[in-house]
Amino acid sequence: MKSRAESRWNVKLPEEIEAIGSIEPSQGVVTEAGPIHLPWPPLSFDEIARTKETAQDWQLNRNYVPIMGDMHDLVCLDYSLSKEPEVVVVSDDRNELARFTSLRHFLDSLTDMADESHCMKIVADKSWLDF
């Protein structure tokens, strides 16, 4: 239940939180640094609550509430600056890969990574490759 996750982490989860359940494995986000495949799966409210017990063991920032991933690469809500969390994508090394100002901004940024239109293409006449 949502209330169990909120009480366990002592936070108010954003209204849009239930939308993470519909994120597909093929979805990702495109940042200035390039496309990022999202860690999967989205976590249930019960799983979000249970991650509180292991977050420190996984060297997770104490203000990060995991909402997607397998505790290696993660998508987290970051409550360090405000009660309205930002969304951060972190690697297994806990490096920040991407940051979004809100969960709504994150959800609006999702793209189907199977569609390669967001990827840079090789331009044949500008490449050293022999086409």
- If one counts the domains in the chain, the total is 1
Asked if the model's pLDDT at residue 21 lies above 90, the reply is yes
Q: What are phi and psi of 62, to 5 degrees?
A: -65, -15
What is the crossing angle of helices 45-54 and 2-9, to 10°? 20
Kindly tell me the sign of the dihedral angle through the C-alpha atoms of 47, 52, 54, 55.
positive
Among 12-16, 93-97, 126-130, the range scoring the smallest mean pLDDT is 126-130
What pLDDT, on the 0 to 100 scale, is given for residue 71? Answer: 85
Helices (H) and strands (E) in the chain, counts: 3, 7
Q: Does 131 fall in a domain? A: no
Instruction: Please report, in angstroms and rounded to a whole number, the separation of the first and last CA atoms in the chain.
Output: 56
Whether the per-residue pLDDT at 32 is higher than 90: the answer is: no
Which pair of structure tokens corresponds to residue 44?
A: 């249930």
Please give the structure tokens belonging to residue 95: 């490096």
- How do residues 47-68 score in pLDDT, each as one tens digit? 999 999 999 898 999 999 999 9
Rounded distance, CA 122 to CA 43, Å?
A: 37
- Say which residues have a Cβ less than 8 Å from residue 17's Cβ, sequence separation at least 6: 2, 67, 103
Q: Answer yes or no: is 69 within a domain.
A: yes
Tokens (6 digits) for 120: 């840079």
The token pair at 30 is 């495109």
Cα–Cα distance measured from residue 74 to residue 61, given in angstroms and rounded to the nearest whole number: 12
CATH code of the domain covering residue 26:
3.40.1580
Q: From CA 22, how far away is CA 46, in angstroms rounded?
A: 17
Print the domain residue range for 61: 2-126
